[in-house]
Amino acid sequence: MNESRMTWYKKGLKDGIPIALGYFAVSFTLGIAAKNAGFSAFQSMVTSMLINASAGEFAGFTLMAAGAGLLEVVLMEAIANARYLLMSCALSQKLSPDTPLHHRLLLGFYLTDEFFGLSVSVPKTLNPFYTYGMISLGAPAWAFGTYFGCLMGNVLPVNIVNALSVSLYAMFLAIIVPPARKNKTLLVLIIISMLASYLFGILPIVSEISSGVRIILLTILLSGAAAILFPIKEDVTNES
């Protein structure tokens, strides 16, 4: 049993190398966003250690930098990270029924899009130590990348800091562009989201609302409308 765990752990380490490199690069720019929100390098590192979510952290730092209230931040974090509830439920189906609770809790805590994607692709039952191997590299890379990003944000010239900050937006573009090219409905929804965000920022009444509340309203309205108008059909095909 121990050999099996070590084998899976080493495989997870190997597969986690590119994830860790990507995490360090992205979290470096996240650290710059944390600096703009008034966080110290140590505080930003601890935040990344406790919140393993790029979109969630970026949304939180952005709202704090804009002076949003605690309720706005909590609501936005709940919305931005709600997908992890579904991922956790899906990943639990890959685990053996006798998997101890502490393994399930650890996997749920460190679950990210990348860890989830590789973990669910494992044939048959998932050995938690495979995911632990990826986590062993990815989680420290994410935390220390945020630390050094915040630290260097205090040293680098302002124009370089602003240039590096753009890379975080590039990450989001890299996420939405490929599926948008394949799904015309998704492409239309993305364009509508951009236009709605712009209009919410210039219209007389809604523009007076804080940016945090505007983000929450747009997220709920657009995602809700998309779910009602364009529901995803379930695959009911039975596996042989």
Establish if 239 belongs to a structural domain: no
Which of these three, 144, 172, 200, is where a domain ends?
172
Q: Is residue 237 part of a domain?
A: no
Q: Could you tell me the residue range of the domain that residue 102 belongs to?
A: 2-172
Residue 3 pLDDT > 60: no
Are 168 and 193 within one domain? no
Does residue 178 sit within a domain? Answer: no
Residue 97 lies in a domain: yes
Do 113 and 192 lie in a common domain? Answer: no
Task: For residues 179-204, give the mean pLDDT.
Answer: 83
Model pTM score: 0.67
**HEC profile for the chain?**
CHHHHHHHHHHHHHHHHHHHHHHHHHHHHHHHHHHHCCCCHHHHHHHHHHCCCHHHHHHHHHHHHCCCCHHHHHHHHHHHCCHHHHHHHHHHCCCCCCCCHHHHHHHHHCCCHHHHHHHHCCCCCCCHHHHHHHHHHHHHHHHHHHHHHHHHHCCCCHHHHHHHHHHHHHHHHHHHHHHHHHCHHHHHHHHHHHHHHHHHHHCCCHHHCCHHHHHHHHHHHHHHHHHHHCCCCCCCCCCC
Q: Which of 137-151, 158-172, 212-226 has the lowest mean pLDDT?
A: 158-172
Is there a single domain that holds both residue 131 and residue 112?
yes
How do residues 70-115 score in pLDDT, each as one tens digit?
Answer: 888 888 888 778 778 878 888 888 998 899 999 999 999 998 888 8
Per-residue pLDDT tens over the stretch 27-78? 888 888 888 888 999 999 999 999 888 778 888 888 888 887 888 888 888 8
